Chains A and B, each alone.
Chain A
């Protein structure tokens, strides 16, 4: 793994970056909006349980929701204020899906929950992991996977290599680049904490080759902290700017030449990948005792007059950020969270940002792709050439949509539809303008649903079979008991003894009754 021996992944696209406009100026704090709408569910759908009630006053950094299952996360109040609502609202996720949100009205004081005066830094890997978990840190590159879980698994394995992903390959998004320019030291320090959590000493910060200035900053930070003397091996590696080089599996392929096997995590090949913003969040959590309550977000697009990166509190409504960046609302046609390739269109701007929302893209009508009706697939194979996961997009489409006669979603599974990373490269090159990714998203959700149904049927069968067996057993037991009794009474002596026992019992009861009344 060094600069001279990079590999490359299959396919991919060279796209225009559109990043310069938003990345020229340093980031700004976005300030306090009128309301914060915090969705307490992860982007993977795992929900958390609110631990505050409507009308409660909360302090900055106070826990407002606890995870319901092991894949959920903790949520903290981003500022002090009043909880005015806990209700279902649309969230910054695919199709703006409804989820429970905690709505906080800031009091303007921004008072922290009392924090220990003197910092006690964690000593063991366990303590670091516990603090990462308590700070509610999730993967901030987009997947939103709780960070601490990646390290629980490393406790028994050999020391992995850490890859810090600064290769933000989608056009327009520049929040990671800006973060690396503004806070290189925090990122490097966070990386060191992650290394300690993984009980490893080797980390690579991967950046794209079109952002050279960043490398200088990061190298300087690594030198300044004298990490080599402490036994840590950190290097910054530039990778070619090809979309989607920032994808987990793609970046690993480029850096190491290794392909992560289908269905497995990078840990299976001895690697852990983390976004630069996650490393920064870890630094904040451990050295500043600040839970994950804000993130850097790019506000850009052709409908924005002064595109910029903001450090916004989690839950800040899009509206607030758009106003800060002087959005031309007359011109605004499509509001997208994420980039133009993988992002989701939002129905309105009153939705709060989440821990994984890295970009707000406001596009005017002349910028959005003209809505040409999709034409049938001509099986030209252009999509095959660009697919970075080496799938057969046209064949998957055929199985999902091509023939209704047979049940072919299962065939799509056999052709690894679950390995699709939804990068959108196939849709981008399709000459028939087919939005291929939509079909793969559908197939994945439907297959997951069918698996759920199958598992449920299996469970019902087991319960039904066991119930039948139990009823059978009870019936047999009852019959056996009756048979025993009949056999017993067929002996005259036993029958007589039984009779007198019953008579004695009746007599006793009557006596007791008389005594009671007396």
Chain B
């Protein structure tokens, strides 16, 4: 009878010890391999176009990424990222693909801004709002936009007191030559133009 209880105590004791050992191991591993910050935020941020335009109602791409990660914002508030960006976010987060929210703006072709230089009064207001330091100039001197650095966020346009900043199509480096997608029917019915009624 006593032997049976001994075994029982021994089993319990070994289990407790094992649990304690593994618990300590987990504690050590979690300390040793701690990941700084939220990795999902970084992944979302990598998909966002980094225009820092604020059209999503957040003060930049990273805050929006944080809001998405926290489940506070839907994935369809980024017009520069467009439908492609939404698709990628949906794939990453395994959620449904949404249409771009028209309240945030519409998807446009790539654009950058340019300063109409004769009109510039050198107030430096645009320089202060540019999120990527793409405008150079000094007080009472003409300013200019570094086109290669401009993300087309348009934040400088409302800041300009003389409305001398205009949008232009983004220049592409010479070897890039975008082509339209060729079209191909997916089914024989489509290709032969069968009316719906017959199908």
Contact = CB atoms under 8 A, between A and B. Distances in A.
A446 interface: yes
Contact of B178 (A47, A438, A449, A456): A449
Nearest to B188: A376
A441 interface: yes
Contacts of A407: 84, 87-88, 91
Contact of A445 (B151, B179, B185, B186): B179
Contacts of B190: 376
B37 interface: no
B86 to A, nearest CB: 11
Given A456-B151, A457-B49, A449 B172 contact: yes
A435 B178 contact: no
A460 B52 contact: yes
A487 interface: no
Contacts of A459: 149
B187 interface: yes
B51 A460 contact: yes
* Max chain B C-beta neighbours (<10 A), residue from A41, A434, A438: A438
- B contact face: mostly helix, strand, loop, or mixed: loop
Given A374-B191, A407-B88, A94 B174 contact: no
A434 B184 contact: yes
B91 to A, nearest CB: 7
Contacts of A453: 49, 110
Interface in B125-184: 131-134, 149, 151, 172-182, 184
Interface residues of A, number: 40
Contacts of B182: 401, 435, 438-439, 442
A398 to B, nearest CB: 11
A377 B182 CA distance: 14
A45 B188 contact: no
Interface in A422-467: 434-435, 438-439, 441-442, 445-446, 448-449, 452-453, 456-461, 463-464, 466-467
A45 B174 contact: yes
B185 A374 contact: yes
Nearest to B153: A460
Nearest to B170: A456
Nearest to A438: B182
B44 interface: no
A464 B190 CA distance: 48
A452 B173 contact: yes
B122 interface: no
A407 B179 CA distance: 17
A448 B178 CA distance: 9
A261 to B, nearest CB: 22
Contacts of A45: 174-177
A448 B175 CA distance: 9
B177 A464 contact: no
Contacts of B149: 459-460, 463
- A contact face: mostly helix, strand, loop, or mixed: helix
B176 A467 contact: no
Given A458-B50, A460-B151, A97 B131 contact: no
Interface string A205-237: 000000000000000000000000000000000
B60 interface: yes
B115 interface: no
Interface string A486-510: 0000000000000000000000000
A377 to B, nearest CB: 8
B145 to A, nearest CB: 13
A406 B172 CA distance: 26
A406 B91 CA distance: 8
Nearest to A457: B50
A458 B191 CA distance: 42
A459 to B, nearest CB: 7
Interface in B12-66: 45, 48-52, 60-61
* Max chain A C-beta neighbours (<10 A), residue from B180, B182, B186: B182
A119 interface: no
Contacts of B175: 44-46, 448
Nearest to B84: A407
Contacts of A373: 191
B50 A460 contact: yes
Interface in A376-415: 376-377, 397, 401-402, 406-407
A467 B59 CA distance: 14
A153 interface: no
Given A95-B179, A376-B190, A461-B45, 20 more contacts: A45-B176, A46-B175, A47-B174, A97-B177, A374-B184, A374-B185, A376-B187, A407-B88, A407-B91, A441-B179, A442-B181, A442-B182, A446-B181, A448-B175, A457-B51, A457-B151, A463-B149, A464-B50, A464-B131, A467-B131
29 contacts: A44-B175, A45-B174, A45-B175, A45-B177, A46-B175, A376-B185, A376-B186, A397-B184, A407-B84, A438-B182, A439-B182, A439-B184, A442-B181, A445-B177, A446-B181, A449-B172, A452-B172, A453-B49, A453-B110, A456-B151, A457-B151, A458-B50, A460-B51, A460-B132, A460-B151, A461-B45, A464-B61, A464-B131, A467-B133
Interface of A: 41, 44-47, 94-95, 97, 373-377, 397, 401-402, 406-407, 434-435, 438-439, 441-442, 445-446, 448-449, 452-453, 456-461, 463-464, 466-467
- Going nearest first, the 8 A-B pairs with the smallest beta carbon separation are A457-B50, A45-B174, A460-B50, A463-B132, A45-B175, A438-B182, A461-B50, A445-B179
